[in-house]
Amino acid sequence: MPTQPPPRLHQIITTHLPALPGECVDGGGARVGQTIYAGLGSAGHRWYCLDLSLPGHHWERCADFPGPPPRCAVVIAAGDAVYVFGGFGKASPAAVTTQFDTAYRYLHASDRWEQLNTVLPVGLSGAAAIAVNASTLLFFGGYHREQFDAFHRDLETAEERDREDITVRYMSRPIARFNWNAETWALNLLTMTWHSMGTQPHHGHCKAAVVRDGANFYLLGGEVKPGLNASTIKHGRLGPAGVQWQASHAVPVNDGFGGCFGGRIGNMTVVAGGTHFAGAWERYARGDYFAHEGLRRKWLGNIFVLQDRQWNYLDSLPCPRANGISIEVGDGLVLIGGDGDEGRPCLDTLWLRDRLIMR
């Protein structure tokens, strides 16, 4: 658990950027130069851009995403393009929910999408990724594709009276039975080839934020099974031999935070917001594996900073928020979309910066 709050030498200053034209929950976004992109998720095919270099900047509608609109896809910038991997949704209105194994590239200079000639090696819905350089991406986590697809097929084709039993059977399993992806996968963007860089020494996470600080990176929060958040923050280090996993950090909140925001603000690594089910870990420890059954989801609003391998309270968001997009811009962190209390969509765009740096 965190120590007492540090002295308020650092204070987060929040600037309101133009609000999104519509909701974007479980979507994705990235930055190319001074242009921020956001969309997908509950925004459907819609893809927006905000050029911060223009005076009086505002969100504009870009070319629509060409495939079935994904939720919880991996969206990441590399070079002069934005890449979209996987996600889940319906291939057609009459189809059942499945994970997608496709990849797309958005070309910043020409406002154009293209589907890439590759198939994802595992389910990467809910995964996180970092760009090692302009041609190499690393992926962490992701829902087990076959289990995910089978559950949604059974649930969506069942009679109404049978759906609760299907859900209870699926949820009433320990973490290991969900078999979420615990391999680190590397993708060469020049050859579009994948290779495994080994198994992580922990269960796979989904809906975690990822922050890179030089050779170090952190997997922040996320779930380890539906409704149960990770109890530790994972620390990896990039080296000549690949990823070297360091000792994990304890999360600063009981029951953790899923769907949180994360990034660098000045020289600080921060995590903000997220959701959890209070009491879920206590239930799980008793062997009640459907740990969040009947519990109320809580949206969180605290901002924590990494200091000496501990996560300490730094400040608070204007309101609780989760399941959105966090993008580093300059010395600050921009939060886009997501939802707040009771799942209400958030349209405001926030730019979080450090008061000390802004002096």
Q: Is the whole model's pTM more than 0.75, yes or no?
A: yes
CATH of residue 66's domain is 2.120.10.80
Cα–Cα distance for residue pair 336/205, rounded to 1 Å? 22
Give the pLDDT of residue 94. Answer: 95
Q: Which residues contact 107 (CB under 8 A, 6 or more apart)?
A: 80, 81, 113, 114
Number of domains in the chain: 1
Determine, yes or no, domain membership for 2: no
Determine, yes or no, domain membership for 4: no
* Tens-level pLDDT at each residue, the chain (359 residues): 454 444 456 789 999 999 999 999 999 999 999 999 999 999 999 999 999 998 889 999 999 999 999 999 999 999 999 999 999 999 999 999 999 999 999 999 999 999 999 999 999 999 999 999 999 999 999 999 999 999 999 999 999 999 999 999 999 999 999 999 999 999 999 999 999 999 999 999 999 999 999 999 999 999 999 999 999 999 999 998 889 999 999 999 999 999 999 999 999 999 999 999 999 999 999 999 999 999 999 999 999 999 988 999 999 999 999 999 999 999 999 999 999 999 999 999 999 999 766 54
Give the pLDDT of residue 92. Answer: 95
DSSP string spanning 21-49? Answer: SS--SS-EEEEETTEEEEE-GGGTT-EEE
Determine, yes or no, domain membership for 5: no
Does residue 263 come out as left (phi exceeding 0), alpha (psi in the -120 to 50 range) or beta?
left
Determine, yes or no, domain membership for 350: yes
Q: Give how far Cα 162 sits from Cα of 120, 146, 157, Å.
A: 33, 21, 10
Q: Is the dihedral of CA 187, 182, 251, 345 positive or negative?
A: positive
pLDDT digits (tens, 9 = 90+) for 146-157: 999 999 999 999
Determine, yes or no, domain membership for 28: yes
Three-state secondary structure call for residue 161 = helix
DSSP, res 86 = -
Determine, yes or no, domain membership for 274: yes
Give the pLDDT of residue 358. Answer: 53
Domain range spanning residue 164? 12-358
Cα–Cα distance for residue pair 229/12, rounded to 1 Å? 26
| CB-CB neighbours of 139 under 10 Å | 26
Determine, yes or no, domain membership for 1: no
- Asked if 328 is an active-site residue, the reply is no
Among the listed residues 23, 146, 183, 223, the single catalytic one is: 223
Determine, yes or no, domain membership for 250: yes
Over the Cα atoms of the chain, what is R_g? 19
